[in-house]
Amino acid sequence: MVNELIKYVQEHNLFQKDQTILLAVSGGIDSMVLCDLFQKSEYKFAIAHCNFHLRGEESNRDEQFVRQYAQANNITIHVKDFDTYKYMQVKGKSLQMSARELRYDWFETLLEQNNYSFIATAHHSDDSIETFLINLLRGTGIAGLHGMLQKVNNVIHPLLFTNRKAITQYQIANKIEYVEDSTNQSTKYTRNKIRHELIPLMKEIAPNFQRTIIRNIERFRETEEVFRSVVNKVEQDLIEVDNNNNIVKLSISKLQTLFPQNIFLYELLSPYGFNESTINSIAEALSETPGKQFYSETHRLIKDREYLIIAPNTQADTKQYYIHEDQTNLNTPIRLHIELLKDLSFVRIPKVKEIAMLDADKLQFPLILRKWKQGDSFFPYGFRGEKKISEFYKNLKYSIIDKENQWLLCSSDDIIWVVGQRIDERYKITNQTKTIYKLELDE
């Protein structure tokens, strides 16, 4: 198996011999066989062990076992304790997802701090089959059908060339010690239920089940390459990225020309955390009136008039920011450069929205920078009479996101500048103006 590992690493260019790899080691049979193979292959590596404290003394036993192994073999080891239940409560995520996030966040930190090249896990082909079946049962795009990949960013899976049976045979033949996780036998977890109940049944029906599935997974990977090239072309034509407002826009009219629409929608929206059920609801809303909103764990999607707008799922900024009389710039939440102009002989009013020139003597300090509130109104420059801010936004064809991102500059209770759009008529420069208060928006 040592030669098979070396060949697999070289064929798939997983890493170079002079690089140091961080092995995720639980103490179970798979990770201990991985350690043994790395030692015999003379690869440079260190060990990372996570103690999630989920199995009482058994968790501490695993940690002690891995520590002793590392010490006996003169291997660098990193151990981390996690309060998994607390993280789970704070983040509102499942136990398994919480443990995964804690684990990989720590691994990434270790890579940066110690100049390790990759994180290696002991997943093998049986794990890949289980992942394939889990994704199939939960609903997935084509990416969920390729099983585990040999390399994903900083994570490598060097044992995908082998299976559980071969690993067990290697462990017995080489008398490799390991510890058994008692929860591996419990069928309350989906993966274990598939492993202990579904797969044996499928083997009974089709004795060559594993070999067939592995071959199919390979085909799905190749099919995905072709499909991904098509999706990438659609993305280039259909998606607009607005970096200033941190949003992504998808043209509804172009979406409606795609066939099969739901497949493309899934591939376009799932990277933002939207699941199949939500994406189906979004598809149904394409021809409905604007305003509907949909949420994933990380993002929000708004059905606007012409676009689906995707933005990070964060709370709108409801804070107020103050500009004092002697202030010459503002850096948060937006960047403003401020000047007082007293020699008005050569002043010209620029016709750009990013600059506001106001009668300084009419202002009450500190000025207030805030977002829109229900009932807000102002007197738009060049317009006779008062206008609701909501109506002004409507005329600008603002989306919900645009409205949330728009800042208003106020003097006491008066809105004096819809920042980057229009000043208030009451605060404009006149023949009686003695000092100009100039603000320039730096985007």
Cβ atoms of residues 180 and 28 within 8 Å: yes
> What are 420's two structure tokens?
């980057």
Q: Which amino acid, one-letter code, is at 63?
A: E
- The string over 406-427, giving b where at least 16 C-beta atoms fall within 10 Å of a residue's C-beta and e elsewhere, is bbbbbbeebbbbbbebbbbeeb
- Distance, CA of 91 to CA of 97 (rounded, Å): 10
pLDDT exceeds 70 at position 354: yes
Cβ atoms of residues 419 and 406 within 8 Å: yes
Place of tokens 């040592």: 2
Q: What is the mean pLDDT of residues 139-153?
A: 80
Tens digit of pLDDT for each residue in 204-219? 999 898 899 999 988 9
pLDDT exceeds 90 at position 291: no
pLDDT exceeds 80 at position 353: yes
Tens digit of pLDDT for each residue in 297-327? 889 999 998 999 998 887 666 788 999 998 9
Q: Can you give the pLDDT at residue 289?
A: 87
Sorting pLDDT into bands at 50, 70 and 90, what band is 189? confident
Q: Can you give the pLDDT at residue 86?
A: 87
- Reported pTM: 0.62
Q: Can you give the pLDDT at residue 317?
A: 66
Residue 9, number of CB atoms within 10 A of its CB: 22
Strand, helix or coil at 205?
A: helix
Cβ atoms of residues 377 and 390 within 8 Å: no
Strand, helix or coil at 379?
A: coil
- Distance, CA of 356 to CA of 229 (rounded, Å): 47
pLDDT exceeds 80 at position 138: no
Please name each of the domains of the chain with its CATH number: 2-216 (3.40.50.620), 243-312 (3.30.465), 321-441 (no CATH)
